Structure 1
Amino acid sequence: MECASCDARIDHCHGTLVVHPEGGFAECTDPACVDGDRVRHALIVDCPALGGCGCAAAPEKSLLRQAS
């Protein structure tokens, strides 16, 4: 299966953007993601919906890439 956004050369990300309530930061599950803008992500979840992720901990300790 091919990605319609890739075929149309639309700037997008195949990862999931995880939005954290603590600190107001977001991370993408795709390590190759270059921009954490919500418009680039078709999949966006709040970390509490994932059962929490320990986002009260320092972001640099996270296993996901922090989006800017």
Structure 2
Amino acid sequence: MECASCDAGIDHCHGTLVIHPEGGFAECTDAACGDGDRVRHALIVDCQAIGSGCGCVDTPRKPLLRQVS
């Protein structure tokens, strides 16, 4: 499978941009990516959505699903 953005010569990143609400910074999972610009990333997640969580926020993660009683 080929990347359409690569074929078209569009500046983009194949990594996932992780947004940290505390401190207002972002980081990419691709070590070669030096740009935290949202426009370059097709995949963007909040740091609390990461399975191991993130220490930048002290608030507990909200569950994706809630129990119905």
Percent of residue pairs identical: 88
Structure (1/2) with the larger helix percentage: 1
Shift of 1:34: 2.2
The 1-side partners of 2:40 and 2:23 are apart by 21
User: Which protein, 1 or 2, shows the higher relative CO under an 8 Å CA cutoff with sep ≥ 6?
Assistant: 1
Query: For structure 2, which runs of at least 5 residues remain unmatched after alignment?
Result: 58-69
Aligned residue for 1:7?
7
What is the DSSP-based 3-state SS (H/G/I as helix, E as strand, rest coil) of the residue aligned with 2:33? Answer: coil
Task: State the structure with more CA Rg.
Answer: 2
Aligned residue for 1:33?
33
TM-score (norm 1): 0.76
The within-5 A match list for 1:1-68 is: 1-51=1-51, 52-56=53-57
Say what the alpha-carbon RMSD is for the aligned residues. 1.2
Aligned AA for 2:49?
A
